[in-house]
Amino acid sequence: MAAQQTAVRASSSFNTLPLLLLAALATATPAVAESTLQVAGELNLSLAHYRGHQEAGGLHTQTRLDSYGSRLTLRGTEALGGSLKASFTLASSLGPDDGRGRFCSRDCWVALSGDFGMLKLGRLLPIYDDVSVPWYFIETPGTHNPLALWANCGGGAGLESGCLDNYLPGSLRYDTPRVSGWSASASASRVEDVPEPGRAAKVYTLGGDYRDAGWYMGYAAQIQDDARGAGLRDTGFTVSLLYKGPLTLGLGYEHLRYKMAGGETLRRDYLGLLLARYTGPHATWFNLGRAGSGHGDAARGATVNAVSQLPRSGAWMWSVGQHYKISPTVKLYGFYTEIRNEPHGAYALDAASAKWLGRGRRLSTWALGYIVRF
C-alpha cells in the first residue's frame, strides 16, 4: 500500500552520512569492490467508479482513471569487502493516468549494511508502516487500502494533519540483523517546514518483527512532536499478526493518542482483519476494518483529521477483491470497497472523495485494473 506523502523540505541534519558513504566507496579496492545497478518499476492503471453522499444531501458519483503505486525504482549496491556493503534506492512516483510524477517521492535513501545490521539515511518509511503488512499482503494497490482508517491517514492527510504513516525526509533508521526470525528497528526523523515554514516536526519510531515459516508478527510505537503545531504530540502503537497458508489470515490493532493545545488527549482504537485464499499465483481476498469513536478527556467535538471526540464518530470499512496473474509481470485485478461512517464519522477514501463526502455518509467504489512490472 502506498503511504501518504507530505510535501515538505528535507532537513540537512544528517547530511554527513552520504559523504561517509562516498568515502567508503572511494577507499574500496578494485579487488574487493563489486557493484550492481537495478532498474525496476510498476505501472498500475484502473478504471474506478465512486459513489457517496454529500454534506448537503444528494448522491455524488464519479468515474475516473486511477493510478496507485506506479513507480520507477533505481537500486545500487557496492561490496566494500567482508560483509560491508553500501547501497542506495531512488524510487519515484509515475502518473500513467495524468502524465505526472515526482522524483524521489517514495523511498529515497543511502545505506551501509553488514554484520551489524543496516543503517539508512534519507527519505524513508519507519517500521510503523512495515507492521501494517497484514493489509499490504495482497499486493494490489488501490483505494481498498485500510490506510483510509488505520493511522488516521484518510482523505489524503499528511504528517501535519495527524497521519502516522508517512514517507519522512531527514530520516536515520537502523535495523538489527535478523536472529532466529527476529529483527528490531529504530528511526529518528526531522522534517522541516511542518506545519509551517521555519518549524520542524520530529518523529521517533521503535519496533520489531518476526518472520519465519509463513508467520509474521510485528509491533511498533511512534511519537510525532510538533507535527500539528508547537508543543503538540501524536503517538501511535500498532501490532499485527499474519499467517500465510492455504488460507492467509492477518490481524491488526492500533491505538492513537493526540495531545491537544490545552493538554487534553484525544484517543482512538482500530481493529483490522484480512482473509486471503491463494490458488497458485492468483488470490481472492476480504478485508475488514473498524475505527472506533474518538474518546479521552479532550473537549467534545475536538478533531484531528477524521478522529473526533463525538459519540458514534467511528466507521466500518470492508473490501473484497481478486487478482489474477496472467504472466510473471502482468496482473489483472478487481475489487469493491465500502466505508460506512457512523452518524458523526467522516472517513474518506482519498483526497478527492473527502472534498464532497459528508459526515455520517456511506462511500463505495469498485475498480478494475491491471499492473505491469518491469
Instruction: Check pLDDT > 90 for residue 133.
Output: no
> Residue 61: what pLDDT?
87
283-322 pLDDT tens trace: 999 999 999 999 999 999 999 999 999 999 999 999 999 9
SS3 for the chain is: CCCECCCCEECCCCCHHHHHHHHHHHHCCCCCCEEEEEEEEEEEEEEEEEEEEECCCCEEEEEEEECCCCEEEEEEEEECCCCCEEEEEEEEECCCCCCCCECCCCCEEEEEEECCEEEEEEEECCHHHHCCHHHHCCCCCCCCCHHHCHHHCHHHCCHHHCCCCECEEEEEEEECCCECCEEEEEEEEEEECCCCCCCEEEEEEEEEEEEECCEEEEEEEEEEECCCCCCCEEEEEEEEEEECCCEEEEEEEEEEEEECCCCCEEEEEEEEEEEEEEECCEEEEEEEEEECCCECCCCCCCEECCEECCCCCCEEEEEEEEEEEEECCEEEEEEEEEEEECCCCCCCCCHHHHCCECCCCEEEEEEEEEEEEC
Q: pTM for the whole thing?
A: 0.87
pLDDT digit string, tens, across residues 324-362: 999 999 999 999 999 999 999 989 887 777 776 667 888
The 10s digit of each residue's pLDDT in 60-79 is 888 999 888 899 999 999 99
Q: In this predicted structure, what is the pLDDT of residue 57?
A: 67
Q: Is 132 exposed, middle or buried (0-12, 13-18, 19+ CB in 10 A)?
A: buried
pLDDT number for residue 84: 96
**What backbone torsions phi and psi does residue 198 show, to the nearest 5 degrees?**
90, -5
| pLDDT at 11 > cutoff 50 | no
Residue 33 pLDDT level (bands cut at 50, 70, 90): low
Residue 63 confidence (pLDDT): 92
Q: What is the mean pLDDT of the chain?
A: 87
Taking CA atoms, 5 is separated from 8, 93, 174, 258, 292, in Å, by 9, 11, 22, 20, 24
pLDDT score of 272: 94
**Residue 10 banded pLDDT, cuts 50, 70, 90:** very low
pLDDT value of residue 335: 95
Question: Is 195 within 8 Å of 160 (Cβ atoms)?
Answer: yes
Question: Using one digit for the tens of pLDDT, what is the confidence trace for 359-368?
Answer: 788 899 999 9
Length of the chain: 374
**Type of residue found at 93:** S
Higher pLDDT, 142 or 260: 260
Note the pLDDT tens digit of each residue in 149-176: 999 998 889 999 999 999 999 999 999 9
